[in-house]
Chains A and B, each alone.
Chain A
Amino acid sequence: MKIGVVVSEGPYTHQAADSAYNFVRAALAAGHEVPRVFFYHDGVNVSTRLSVPPQDERNIQENWTALAAEHGTDLVVCIAAAQRRGLLDANEAKRQGKDADNIAEGFRISGLGQLIEMAIQTDRLVMFGD
């Protein structure tokens, strides 16, 4: 079965990004497909490559990046929500005249249409947020 997942709350403050990660790992282990995870609202903050959590804590961004590398899951960060919150890829940084970009490997910035498309193309949609 194809399962689409939405993460709509930021990392560390709220458990949503961890719950979603554990859920996706379990879904993949059970033989389901998770073609895409869509990050919205403060969930876009998961995608920053500049977070440096203490060494004895999980690194939420690195967990997701590794998952995408292993399974080819498309990690999509909503562009409108990301720009509000200071998350830019290299192209957007250049276009907006900003001097830095911060999207981690495995994530890509795209539009809300990717969320709707995911909902159309998957059999189930599961949302994690606040």
Chain B
Amino acid sequence: MSEDVKKFLYVNRKAPYGTIYALEALEVVLIGAAFDQDVSLAFLDDGVFQLTSGQDTAAIGVKNFSPTFRALGDYEVTRLYVERESLEERGLSAEDLQEITYEDEDDDWAEKPSIRVVSREEMAAIMAEQDVILSF
């Protein structure tokens, strides 16, 4: 790996809409994508609520930013790690999350899932291999 490429992990631990952290985290991810770093996103604790399908904010008068997650593949952000224990503690499973995919340029542009459900232990290992951890 080139010395000027760092491993960035955006850690999302907060639910959407109640506070702005999730939306403004996504804004950092989109801008950060232009810097050609090695980027992953982590969703744990209440952060897993950011990815639920069927979000409808019409009646609260706030912008629904959940479709933006589906555009991340176009920005070459293709790894969204979601913690299994966090899902289970909240009565959720991977089926409750929206489908997010990317086209793999190394595999004839095959469409592949961006969401990777990992165990808490795997999440800890992912965190431990980063150069930069941005927390939201």
Contact = CB atoms under 8 A, between A and B. Distances in A.
Report if A and B touch in the complex (beta carbons < 8 A): yes
Interface stretch (B26-34, B81-89, B104-112): B26-34
Contacts of A41: 20-21, 24
Contacts of A99: none
A36 to B, nearest CB: 14
A112 B132 CA distance: 15
A80 interface: yes
Given A41-B21, A125-B134, A127-B135, A117 B35 contact: yes
B31 to A, nearest CB: 4
A117 B31 CA distance: 11
Given A119-B8, A125-B134, A112 B20 contact: no
A113 interface: yes
B4 A120 contact: yes
A111 interface: yes
A81 B24 contact: yes
A112 B134 contact: no
B34 A113 contact: yes
* Chain A binding surface, main DSSP class: helix
A115 interface: yes
A81 B21 CA distance: 11
A116 B135 contact: no
A64 interface: no
A125 B24 contact: no
B27 A119 contact: no
Contacts of B6: 119-120
